[in-house]
Amino acid sequence: MSIDLSRRRFLGALGLGAAAVVGPTVLAGCRTQGAGAPAGDPSQAANALVPDYAVKQYAKPDYPPPANGFEKIPDSFVKAYDKPPGSGSTIAVMTPLWGAIPRTSGNKYFDGLNARIGSTLKFSISDGNTYGDKMATVMASKKDLPDWLCLTTWNLPARFSDTAADLFEDLSPYIAGDKVKDYPNLASVPTDSWRYCVYNGTLVGIPMPDAGIPNPLFYRADLFKKYGVTQLPTTPDEVIEVAKQLTDAKAGRYGCDDLWNQAVNFFHVPPKWQKDDSGNLVHRVETQEYRQALEWTAKLFKAGVVHPDAVAGNGGDAKQRFESGKTLMLSDGIGGWAEALQRQLPSNPDYSQLPMPVIGNGSGDPVVWKGPAMGIFSAIKKGLGEAKVKEILKVADFLAAPFGTEEYNLVNYGVEGTHYTLDENRMPKLTDLGAAEVQPTYIFLASPAPSVAKVQYPGYVKAYSEWVNTTATFFKEPLFYGMNITEPTRLASIGAPFADLEKDIVRGRKTMADLDKAIATWKKAGGEELRTMYKKVLDEATPK
């Protein structure tokens, strides 16, 4: 999958295109890393570098993690920090933003948070769409490196593992193992998320945790009922049959949008490599599962049930097509669910979209490849000194306070009475000033584990939590899960042609014979060299 797809999955999972924070942040689906930057460390020694996991619970969820769902807002919010954790210094920070960048001077949101933190976080905020360029620039020029930097994994340089320890502070002396007891909110971040911040034996990051949940296949529950679909599909072929039943081209209604990403899930296509029955490494494009996903998607397109705009490659309007009823099935990040409800329910109270139960290939239980437990992390500039590093870690612990705390509300909604008020459900409702000033910024430096508490939408928390927790029962870790494997720069892009080839095959412009030729080209261009390299990594990581 492409780096751009990784970015879009992240934004879809975050909800609202990351343009504004209007509810508890949920990350689920930032799965594919950029070349040279799949995070984590291949050695078992990584476990000794990360914090011990010890959850500090301020409010008990109605649904356990990974959903971490709350059907009721607490009657009161706990104050995690009685006094500011900061030491009064100024901390230069840099973060992305996918939305309108607010002013930082004279902004009551930043002023209010900094006052509670006790340190002045001086923000440099850059457009998320071009953030990779800014990251590369500041990392190349050490003198311009801020004290605390947000890093998006899909933008990391190919040789990041080789340079990370020279640029950023090793955090393991401060928080590895039981040392994290001084930072209880950071200790509540799942272990897998921390392991994805280890590079070349160095813990260089503070993760923004991700539950690793794939994009659901959403369906318009209200319109399924209207058009007489009473039985949800349970196999890939049944998905096509339901799409045919729903399609009325003359009425401008089509069963679905492009479902290639779902086909990958249906047929259990591995994220990158897997072992065959003989124990040999096989790349995803060489697998039977990959061929099955392509063949099924081509069959879907040939059936005439995919909206013509999606056939033409216009994915940007997919949500609008789905929400307007022009398509009735859509693959989307789970964070986009509440976003759609917020847009549609005021004018269409009957609007209902739900995620389908996970669909497998029709043979046995589904397989859900567990995604990376982190897609964004922050790192502290090397050489600031012990006192400054500890101050930043205390600030990070403040920012990682979970749902149920005053700190969580402050980070996500701003100052109560100024940026938001509590409605009849005790849900924060942004004021005009809140809409203008409160943007997701601090969350990119440190965040708690994902949670959901959008009680303003009846039944949403229950449906969301049950889907997430049921889906998690089918989790399977990919072969190199949690490993940081830096591919040689000259080989980093040899798989890029497959993205366009996939589009051509499913649209009938090319055939499986073209796939065979592309695989042969890939092998000669360095695929076999990569296979040898990954085998060596696997052999070294396998306990003797």
pLDDT reported for residue 45: 61
Q: Which of 435, 450, 465 is the last residue of a domain?
A: 450
If asked whether residues 268 and 288 sit together in one domain, one would say yes
Please name which of 251, 356, 263, 358 lies closest in space to residue 301, comparing C-alpha atoms. 263
> Average pLDDT in the 502-524 region?
98
pLDDT reported for residue 482: 80
Residue 73 lies in a domain: no
| pLDDT tens-digit series, residues 5-22 | 344 444 444 443 333 333
Write phi, then psi, for 159 (nearest 5 degrees): -105, 30
The encoded tokens of residue 225 equal 């009922």
Percent of the chain at pLDDT > 70 equals 91
**What is the rounded distance in angstroms from the CA atom of residue 399 to the CA atom of residue 386?**
20
pLDDT reported for residue 543: 67
If asked whether residues 366 and 342 sit together in one domain, one would say yes
**CA-CA-CA-CA torsion for 399, 404, 406, 409, nearest 10 degrees?**
70
Contact 50, 176 (CB under 8 A): yes
| pLDDT tens-digit series, residues 190-226 | 999 999 999 988 999 999 999 889 999 999 999 999 9
| pLDDT tens-digit series, residues 107-118 | 999 999 999 999
Percent of the chain at pLDDT > 90 equals 80
The residue written with tokens 């318009």 in the block is 220
pLDDT reported for residue 512: 97
The encoded tokens of residue 455 equal 């009680």
> Average pLDDT in the 148-165 region?
90
Instruction: Give the pLDDT band (50/70/90) at residue 161.
Output: confident
C-alpha 400, offset from chain centre: 17
pLDDT reported for residue 162: 86
pLDDT reported for residue 246: 98
If asked whether residues 27 and 93 sit together in one domain, one would say yes
If asked whether residues 421 and 443 sit together in one domain, one would say yes
Residue 220 lies in a domain: yes
| pLDDT tens-digit series, residues 297-340 | 999 999 999 999 999 999 889 999 999 999 999 999 998 999 99
Q: Which of 450, 465, 496 is the last residue of a domain?
A: 450
Residue 72 lies in a domain: no
Q: Is the pLDDT of residue 106 over 50?
A: yes
Query: Beta 428-430 vs 420-422: how paired, if at all?
Result: antiparallel
Residue 355: helix, strand or coil by DSSP? strand
Pick the residue with more confidence: 5 or 165?
165
Contact 143, 87 (CB under 8 A): no
Write phi, then psi, for 210 (nearest 5 degrees): -135, 135
The encoded tokens of residue 2 equal 């492409």
Contact 492, 158 (CB under 8 A): yes
What global pTM score does this model have?
A: 0.87
Where in the sequence is the domain holding 525, given as residue range(s)? 215-370+481-544
> Average pLDDT in the 467-475 region?
96
If asked whether residues 292 and 332 sit together in one domain, one would say yes
Tell me how many domains the chain contains.
2
**What is the rounded distance in angstroms from the CA atom of residue 515 to the CA atom of residue 519?**
6
Mean of pLDDT over the chain: 90
If asked whether residues 145 and 284 sit together in one domain, one would say no
Alpha helices for 97-159 (secondary structure H):
108-117, 131-140
pLDDT reported for residue 544: 62
Please name which of 193, 87, 200 lies closest in space to residue 147, comparing C-alpha atoms. 87
Q: Is the pLDDT of residue 89 over 50?
A: yes
> Average pLDDT in the 159-185 region?
95
Residues whose CB is less than 8 angstroms from the CB of residue 377 and which lie 6 or more positions away in sequence, other chains included:
39, 150, 151, 153, 196, 197, 205, 206, 207, 208
> Average pLDDT in the 402-421 region?
96
Q: Which of 450, 471, 495 is the last residue of a domain?
A: 450
Q: Is the pLDDT of residue 70 over 70?
A: yes
pLDDT reported for residue 254: 98
If asked whether residues 125 and 259 sit together in one domain, one would say no
Instruction: Give the pLDDT band (50/70/90) at residue 392.
Output: very high
> Average pLDDT in the 450-467 region?
96
pLDDT reported for residue 28: 30
Residue 66 lies in a domain: no
Q: Is the pLDDT of residue 30 over 50?
A: no
Q: Which range, of 94-98, 319-323, 489-493, 494-498, averages the lowest pLDDT?
A: 489-493
pLDDT reported for residue 19: 33
If asked whether residues 32 and 167 sit together in one domain, one would say yes
If asked whether residues 345 and 285 sit together in one domain, one would say yes
If asked whether residues 418 and 504 sit together in one domain, one would say no
Q: Is the pLDDT of residue 542 over 80?
A: no
| Bond preceding residue 66 cis, omega within 30 of 0 | yes
> Average pLDDT in the 132-148 region?
91
Residue 105 lies in a domain: yes
Instruction: Give the pLDDT band (50/70/90) at residue 442.
Output: very high
| pLDDT tens-digit series, residues 36-56 | 333 344 445 677 899 999 999
**What is the rounded distance in angstroms from the CA atom of residue 426 to the CA atom of residue 440?**
21
* 181: CATH: 3.40.190.10
The encoded tokens of residue 66 equal 């990974």
Pick the residue with more confidence: 1 or 122?
122
Residue 499 lies in a domain: yes
If asked whether residues 13 and 100 sit together in one domain, one would say yes
If asked whether residues 337 and 289 sit together in one domain, one would say yes
pLDDT reported for residue 364: 85
> Average pLDDT in the 97-102 region?
91
Residue 340: helix, strand or coil by DSSP? helix
pLDDT reported for residue 418: 97
pLDDT reported for residue 483: 80
Residue 201 lies in a domain: yes
The encoded tokens of residue 470 equal 């049921």
